[in-house]
Structures are given as C-alpha cells and as structure tokens.
C-alpha cells in the first residue's frame, strides 16, 4: 500500500487483525503472537508502540488513554525514523481505530 521510505509496504488488513484479536477470546500469548505477525514489517521500536497500544486497550478499554499514548509514540517515531514512517503508522492506526 504505502512505502514509508524504508520499504514498509503492507496490506491494510494486517493491523486490523491486531485489534480484532482481542475480541476472539484468545489467551494473551496467542493474541500477542497474532499482533507480532501483523506488525512484523515495522522496525522493532514501531512494533512495540503497536503492541503497547493494543495491550492498553485490552486491559483498560480506555480509547482516550491509548490514543494519548499513541500520539506520544508517534512523536518518538518521528524523531527516530522520520515523517514517512509516522504517516504510514497513522494510516494503519486509523483503519484499526474505526474497525474496532
């Protein structure tokens, strides 16, 4: 779909699986494995932001708190990886956000 400057092409459906897995009643470790598979194309630091976001939403069901954390994470991604990665990550997040 998009190339974030670092070859981060990925189908849009992947990140949606990250967030839908919490509805499937999976045990925590299996849900994490599904999430890791969906975010594998991202650098480790970006992948950790996705995992942390999904875990926050799983545990608290607090969309606002998770979004605040995600915005802070985007700033860190911007500093470390550049603006193209941020734009790619934002698009993935918006798809996941509206499909959960």
- Predicted pLDDT of residue 79: 78
Instruction: Please report, for the chain, the start and end positions of each structural domain, with discontinuous segments joined by +.
Output: 13-98
- Predicted pLDDT of residue 37: 60
Report whether 67 contacts 79 (CB < 8 A).
no
- Predicted pLDDT of residue 91: 63
Consecutive 10-residue averages of pLDDT for the chain (100 residues): 40 44 46 58 62 58 62 72 72 54
pTM above 0.85, yes or no: no
Radius of gyration of the chain (CA): 13
- Predicted pLDDT of residue 86: 72
- Predicted pLDDT of residue 82: 77
* Helix or strand holding residue 37 (H, E): helix 28-38
């Amino acid at each position: 779909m998009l190339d974030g400057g670092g070859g981060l092409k990925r189908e849009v459906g992947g990140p949606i699986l990250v967030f839908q897995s919490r509805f499937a009643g999976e045990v925590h470790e299996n849900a994490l494995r599904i999430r890791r598979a969906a975010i594998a194309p991202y650098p480790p630091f970006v992948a950790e932001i996705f995992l942390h976001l999904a875990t926050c939403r799983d545990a608290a069901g607090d969309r606002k708190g998770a979004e605040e954390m995600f915005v802070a994470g985007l700033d860190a991604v911007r500093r470390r990886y550049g603006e193209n990665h941020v734009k790619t990550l934002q698009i993935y997040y918006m798809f996941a956000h509206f499909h959960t």
